[in-house]
Amino acid sequence: MAAVGWIGLGNMGGPMAANLVKAGHTVRGYDVVPAAVEAAAAAGVEPAGSVAEAVAGADVVFTMLPKGEHSRAVYLGEDGIFAAASTDTLIVESSTIDIETAQLLHDTAAGAGFRFVDAPVSGGISGAAAATLTFMVGGEPGAVQEAAGYIEPMAGNVIATGGPTTGEAAKICNNLMLFINMAGTAEGAVLADRLGLDRKVFWDIASVSSGDSWALRTWYPLPDVVPTAAANNDFAPTFTAELANKDITLALQAAEGTGTPLRVGAQVQELLQQLLDAGQGGRDCTMIVQLVDGRLEVTDQA
Ligand code: NAD
């Protein structure tokens, strides 16, 4: 069994690290928030007081941090992973971050002699707890294969995406499509209601017709249609508007860098931004439906 270092024990990292403990690994975890470390310790993660302490003697280190800026601090800082870890340690970056930061981390890792992969995940908090996440793993083939062995106890699917940064690229494009589908579903749902359709009848039709999508089946934004929807629960978050806005903004940044016009994606980002501006960033992203049905006022849409 392996010695694992884990940095970032939040909503995703906490249950993911716990699944590595369940698989028999020794996991030493660090988070800047002491309560996150305590919660992980209750699941068998050994608490570490710093990044350096978490990575010392580790066979593999995972990071699960909010954004690129956090990853840059944790990897490149004076007491960061590249300064503190042994080059024998395999490093797996599972945060959803921008392509530029992922490339910088790959380049720095290669320059310093580390094996490094970008391995973001899809499947949400429930997938993290149930060990059914999809991992998209980019990097040199040997490192990707080695990482897959450690990832397996947390995953339903492990997919090699290609060279450095392709894991992040896959994640960013997937989530761009998800949030566009989600916004489209919100518009269809409200219009169907106003045209006098029974909600459940319309959902039954769309879910076996060409309007079907993961967002429709999992996140239908009107209450009492699908059990997993945040709409049943006054938009208590299953995926916050803030996180959705972060992810779609990563797609827009990548689009700029590649000269790709994302006109629909840009409009959906504006809608998510309106939720944030209305102080609703911590609530579920499907609250976008309230910009369609008028419960929240649309302000600056073109
Ligand atoms: P989170 O905010 O719950 O957890 C991130 C953790 O990182 C926090 O506990 C925070 O204290 C810690 N952290 C921040 N800076 C740190 C530092 N310098 N050193 C140590 N710890 C630090 O976020 P999350 O929901 O766990 O998401 C993590 C990543 O996974 C994000 O990139 C997110 O986009 C991605 N993701 C999230 C979901 C989801 O449904 N929540 C799904 C797929 C992917």
Ligand 1 centroid to residue 139 C-alpha, Å: 22
Query: What is the model's pLDDT at position 300?
Result: 57
Query: What is the model's pLDDT at position 125?
Result: 84
Q: Give the CATH number for residue 62.
A: 3.40.50.720
Residues 22, 25: Cα–Cα separation, whole Å: 7
Answer yes or no: is the C-beta of 25 below 6 A from any ligand 1 atom: no
Domain identity same for 180 and 128: no
Domain identity same for 47 and 141: yes
Last residue of a domain, one of 125, 147, 163: 163
**298 within domain boundaries:** no
**55 within domain boundaries:** yes
Ligand 1 centroid to residue 74 C-alpha, Å: 12
Last residue of a domain, one of 104, 137, 163: 163
Domain identity same for 152 and 190: no
Q: Which of 44, 51, 67, 59 is nearest to 91 (CA)?
A: 59
Name the amino acid, one letter, at 4. Answer: V
Helix-helix angle 34-42:13-22, to 10 degrees: 30
Answer yes or no: is the C-beta of 222 below 6 A from any ligand 1 atom: no
Where helices occur in 1-48 by DSSP H, the ranges are 13-22, 34-42
Residues 292, 286: Cα–Cα separation, whole Å: 11
**299 within domain boundaries:** no
Positions annotated as catalytic residues are 171
Domain identity same for 159 and 275: no
For ligand 1, what atom is nearest to the CA of residue 13? 26
Domain identity same for 152 and 183: no
Residue 20, phi-psi category: left (phi > 0), alpha (psi -120 to 50), beta (remainder): alpha
Domain identity same for 127 and 112: yes
Domain identity same for 126 and 143: yes
Residues of the chain with pLDDT under 70: 300-302
Tokens of 253: 């940044």
**38 within domain boundaries:** yes
Domain identity same for 24 and 152: yes
Q: Give the CATH number for residue 271.
A: 1.10.1040.10
Domain identity same for 124 and 195: no
Answer yes or no: is the C-beta of 239 below 6 A from any ligand 1 atom: yes
Domain residues for the domain of 216 are 170-293
Ligand 1 centroid to residue 12 C-alpha, Å: 6
Answer yes or no: is the C-beta of 8 below 6 A from any ligand 1 atom: yes
**54 within domain boundaries:** yes
Domain identity same for 138 and 235: no
Q: Which residue has the tokens 């827009």?
A: 252
Query: What is the model's pLDDT at position 126?
Result: 84
Give the count of domains, the chain: 2
Domain identity same for 150 and 194: no
Residues 49, 228: Cα–Cα separation, whole Å: 37
Ligand 1 centroid to residue 210 C-alpha, Å: 35
**185 within domain boundaries:** yes
Last residue of a domain, one of 111, 131, 163: 163
Residue 204, phi-psi category: left (phi > 0), alpha (psi -120 to 50), beta (remainder): alpha
Domain identity same for 105 and 210: no
Cα angle value 246/297/176 (rounded, 5°): 25
Answer yes or no: is the C-beta of 171 below 6 A from any ligand 1 atom: no
**301 within domain boundaries:** no
Consecutive H or E run containing 199? helix 199-206
Query: What is the model's pLDDT at position 238?
Result: 85
Q: Do 214 and 178 touch, CB atoms closer than 8 A?
A: yes
**300 within domain boundaries:** no
Query: What is the model's pLDDT at position 302?
Result: 45
Residues 47, 293: Cα–Cα separation, whole Å: 47
Q: Which residue has the tokens 């990707």?
A: 144
Cα angle value 63/163/97 (rounded, 5°): 35
